Amino acid sequence: MKKNPLVGIIMGSDSDLPVMKEAALVLDEFKVEYEIKIVSAHRTPNLMAEYASTAYTKGIKVIIAGAGGAAHLPGMTASHTALPVIGVPIKSKSLDGMDSLLSIVQMPGGVPVATVGINQAKNAGLLAVQILSTSDSNLFAKMLEYKNSIAEESIQKNKNLKI
């Protein structure tokens, strides 16, 4: 756990950690403080509600919530907070994560959850950095540098193309 987290990374089970750690790695790369916790919408609903409703009091600005199966964690988290919530659908054994994706992305009007692709916690981390960078010029500069580096990497791949 970090000292002054700006991002909360939550998941329903430790089995989600291999996917969700990708968000943490991005935040580490950008030197953004975060905390990571298991907060289950089904096993610990009161803890989930308390976490979501009080996260802002700890200085958290964005919550990344990963969930597989019924995938209620991102939406239920969003229903208890005014903070932006980014949902990460976790690939499940049945339906390859499509159930999770649809559960997260189909939120009712008034309770938005930004949703990334199945198992794309890296993109959730990047989106959290982009959200934070709107009020942090140093972070914005780092994001511009990152975008330029991935563009250059893509351009360089032209040198290796062979038919």
Could you report the per-residue pLDDT of 30-41, keeping only the tens digit for each? Answer: 999 999 999 999
DSSP code for 86:
E
The whole-chain average pLDDT of the chain stands at: 95
How far does the chain reach from its first CA to its final CA, in angstroms?
49
Q: Where are the domains of the chain?
A: 7-136
Tens-place pLDDT, residues 3-53 = 899 999 999 999 999 999 999 999 999 999 999 999 999 999 999 999 999
Question: Where does 7-136 sit in CATH, by number?
Answer: 3.40.50.1970
In this predicted structure, what is the pLDDT of residue 2? 59
Positive or negative, the CA dihedral 123, 144, 63, 125 is positive
Contacts 24+ apart (CB under 8 A), 140-145: 142/30, 143/30
- Which of 1-5, 8-12, 62-66, 96-100 is predicted with the least confidence, judged by mean pLDDT? 1-5
Query: In whole angstroms, how far apart are CA 40 and each of 9, 37, 61, 132?
Result: 12, 9, 20, 25
Q: How far apart are CA 98 and CA 111, in angstroms?
A: 20
Q: Please compute the mean of the pLDDT values over residues 53-75 and round it to a whole number.
A: 94
In this predicted structure, what is the pLDDT of residue 92? 86
Q: SS3 of 87, please? A: strand
CB atoms within 10 A of CB 106: 10
CA–chain centroid gap for 18, Å, is 13
Q: Which pTM value belongs to this model? A: 0.95
Q: Please compute the mean of the pLDDT values over residues 60-74 and round it to a whole number.
A: 93
- Secondary structure in 3-state letters for 100-111: HHHHHHCCCCCC
